[in-house]
Copies of this chain bind each other. A is one copy, B any other.
Amino acid sequence: MLFRQLFDAESSTYTYLLADLATREAVLIDPVLEQVERDVRLVQELGLKLQVVLETHVHADHITAAGLLRERTGARVFASARGAPCVDRQLSQGDVVRVGGIEVRVLETPGHTDDSLSFLCDGRLFSGDALLVRGTGRTDFQNGDPGQLYDSITRELFSLPDATEVYPAHDYAGFTMTSVGEEKRHNPRLAGKSREDFVAFMKARQIPPPRKLDVAVPANRACGLSEPSSPHPA
């Protein structure tokens, strides 16, 4: 399997490219609108065919490239049943997305937003904005809920093997990945902290809303296109 991590410096967003090297079929997770030329070109140079775009959630800090990639490549867009209405397939807990020989298992991990999913593929966890390196997503908009996020991380993600590699949707300190075991031991919001500790910490935080919140959320509910495009039949 081919695996590539890509970064958008403006929003500190990680995009992930997975591909079956036998069939050349590919999946992009959380592509960013401003990087669409880079990503389309990379897919083309690697001789891949983009089949599926996966969204971990309706993002508030950047606009997705999902809709534009669907128009340009014919890829289908998959995300949570609780998220954007523009998608081609609504995903729920336990679903498996198959692209060539790649199998991506869907985990519902709400709390950052109510539509947040994580994706597990070949020992790698794509944790969206639920679990970050030594941090977590925020919980103060889009139906975020700190208690729910604590449960998603500690019951769902921390039940995975310690060696599971964790690839977040963002990082702001130059980390590119972590592991489940490492976050259990060293995440300052979670290690040795009770649900009550976590909820109190998250509720006490005073941080400004994402700069693009009012633009990004409605745009992302239309898969990043100002004119909503029609989903393809699944």
Q: Are A8 and B174 in contact (CB under 8 A)?
A: yes
| A6 at the B interface (CB under 8 A) | yes
Complex contact B182–A45 (CB within 8 A): yes
Mask, A176-196, CB within 8 Å of B = 1, is: 110000100110000000000
For A185, the closest partner residue in chain B by CB is B45
| A174 contacts B6, C-beta separation under 8 Å | yes
Give the interface residue-count category, chain A.
Answer: 20 to 34
A73 within 8 A of B: no
Question: Are the CB atoms of B176 and A5 closer together than 8 Å?
Answer: yes
Q: Which of A1-55 contact B (CB under 8 A)?
A: 4-9, 15, 35, 38, 42, 45-46
Closest to A10 in B: B174
A186 to B44 CA separation, bound complex (whole angstroms):
11
Residues in B whose Cβ lies below 8 Å from that of A175? 6-7, 42
B residues near A8, Cβ cutoff 8 Å: 174
**B45 & A174 in contact (Cβ 8 Å cutoff):** no
B46 touches A176 (CB 8 A): no
| CB-CB contacts below 8 Å: A142-196 with B | 173-177, 182, 185-186
Residues of B within 8 A of A15 (CB): 174
- With both beta carbons as reference points, the residue of chain B lying nearest to A176 in the complex is identified as B5
In whole angstroms, how far apart are the Cα atoms of A46 and B178 in the complex?
10
Residues of chain B within 8 A of A35, CB atoms compared: 174
Show 19 residue pairs from A and B whose CB-CB distance is below 8 angstroms, ordered by the A residue. Answer: A4-B177, A5-B176, A5-B177, A6-B174, A6-B175, A6-B176, A7-B7, A7-B174, A7-B175, A8-B174, A9-B9, A9-B174, A15-B174, A38-B173, A38-B174, A42-B175, A45-B182, A45-B185, A176-B176
**Pairs of residues from A and B, 3 with the lowest C-beta to C-beta distance, nearest first:** A7-B174, A5-B176, A45-B186
17 new A-B contacts, CB < 8 A, other than A4-B177, A15-B174, are A4-B176, A5-B176, A5-B177, A6-B174, A6-B175, A6-B176, A7-B175, A7-B176, A8-B174, A9-B174, A35-B174, A38-B173, A38-B174, A42-B175, A45-B182, A45-B186, A46-B182
